[in-house]
Amino acid sequence: MTEGRIRNLVIVLGDQLDEASSAFNGFDPGLDEIWMAEVAEESEHVWSAKQRIALFLSAMRHFAEALRAQHWPLTYTPLDAPTTRAR
């Protein structure tokens, strides 16, 4: 993670898994941070097949690992974290 203040927080949603996204234009791992979260409600508000949900989550996790492999600062909240459900 970045030390001190974060210049830009880049929020990456599950349908935005692309390192070439304009959200990363000018991204500086020393100043900026990425945030991703698996949110249960995203797969519950509209019916989805379990296979689609599994593929979606797998893609998010693989993208997160690719970002970590580049040593980009990433905060990733998995589906089983207690903070991912709406109250």
Contact in structure between 24 and 49 (CB atoms under 8 Å): no
In the predicted model, what is the mean pLDDT of residues 30-44? 90
Domains of the chain, with CATH numbers?
9-77 (3.40.50.620)
Of residues 43 and 81, which shows the higher confidence score?
A: 81
Residue of 9, 71, 68 whose CA lies nearest to 34: 9
pTM, two decimal places:
0.84
pLDDT in tens, 44-62: 878 889 999 999 999 999 9
> Would you call 36 exposed, middle or buried from its count of C-beta atoms within 10 A (0-12, 13-18, 19+)?
buried
